[in-house]
């Protein structure tokens, strides 16, 4: 479930296009402040790099044409407006991914336990995965 930064095309594009830029710094800074768990699977998870790239691409024209203060207002508004859409997409993906991983990793046969025990074990597995970071943004 945890994505490798190096092989993720969105992360690679961020690195190639925006590494070391004020835009990237401000985007990551705001996400860390406003949504401290944004990189975990319980939030944006594997969609984190895609979201950051979307934000950077979507706000780059404002960065070039507006005073910095106006750019920041636009940046923060765009992040706040789109965050929940990406989070909802991640939630659906996360649920499917957890089911697949759980089935691959269980050491017992689902025929050996009742539905209630199976569901309990699955929810416990999912909760442990939800806390994991999908990305470490190291630029």
Average pLDDT score, the chain: 89
The total number of structural domains in the chain stands at 1
Q: Is 50 exceeded by the pLDDT of residue 1?
A: no
d(CA 36, CA 121): 27
Render pLDDT for 73-121 as a digit per residue (tens, 0 to 9): 999 999 999 999 999 999 988 999 898 888 888 766 556 677 788 888 8
Note the pLDDT of residue 9. 93
d(CA 137, CA 121): 31
The domain in which residue 59 lies consists of 9-130
Residue of 117 and 39 predicted with greater confidence: 39
The answer as to whether 33 is a domain residue is yes
The answer as to whether 51 is a domain residue is yes
What are the C-alpha distances in Å from 23 to residues 29, 61, 76, 108? 10, 11, 11, 49
What are the C-alpha distances in Å from 89 to residues 114, 123, 126? 31, 19, 17
The answer as to whether 139 is a domain residue is no
């Amino acid at each position: 479930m945890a994505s490798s930064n190096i092989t993720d095309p969105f992360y690679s594009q961020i690195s190639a296009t925006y590494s070391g830029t004020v835009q990237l710094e401000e985007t990551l800074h705001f996400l860390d402040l406003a949504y401290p768990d944004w990189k975990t699977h319980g939030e944006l998870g594997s969609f984190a790099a895609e979201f950051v790239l979307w934000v950077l691409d979507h706000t780059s024209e404002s960065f070039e044409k507006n005073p910095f203060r106006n750019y920041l207002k636009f940046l923060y508004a765009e992040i706040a407006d789109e965050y929940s859409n990406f989070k909802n997409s991640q939630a659906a993906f996360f649920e499917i991914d957890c089911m697949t991983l759980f089935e691959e990793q269980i050491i017992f046969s689902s025929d050996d336990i009742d539905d209630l025990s199976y569901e309990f074990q699955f929810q416990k597995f999912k909760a442990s995965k939800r806390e994991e970071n999908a990305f470490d943004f190291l630029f």
